[in-house]
């Protein structure tokens, strides 16, 4: 009986996880969209400002852009869009 109970509990946990996945992916997509919009606003200001951009600024920005691109690819693959 204990093995049956554990099997049922495991099945319920898997169903719960599967039901939560789209919500979690949607939340992550919203967060990525917010970061992307902020980055786009920041980058839009750069041409009008007289700023010297150092390697210390460019490298983290490139890292963020590449990470967002990878996240978007994963999100699109996960949602089938």
DSSP secondary structure of 38-52: HHHHHHHHGGGS--P
50: left (phi over 0), alpha (psi -120 to 50) or beta: beta
Asked whether the predicted pLDDT for residue 3 surpasses 60, the reply is yes
Residue 35 CB partners (closer than 8 Å, separation 6+): 64, 68
Q: Higher-confidence residue: 12 or 80?
A: 12
Asked whether the predicted pLDDT for residue 10 surpasses 90, the reply is yes
Quick one: average pLDDT of 4-11? 92
pLDDT (0 to 100) of residue 48: 61
pLDDT (0 to 100) of residue 55: 61
Each residue's pLDDT tens digit, 50-73: 556 666 666 677 777 877 777 777
């Amino acid at each position: 009986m204990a093995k049956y109970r554990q099997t049922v509990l495991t099945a319920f946990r898997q169903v719960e996880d599967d039901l939560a996945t789209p919500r979690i992916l949607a939340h992550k997509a919203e967060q990525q969209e917010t970061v992307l919009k902020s980055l786009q606003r920041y980058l839009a200001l750069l041409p009008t400002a007289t700023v010297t951009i150092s390697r210390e600024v460019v490298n983290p920005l490139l890292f963020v852009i590449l990470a967002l691109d990878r996240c978007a690819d994963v999100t699109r693959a996960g949602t089938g869009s």
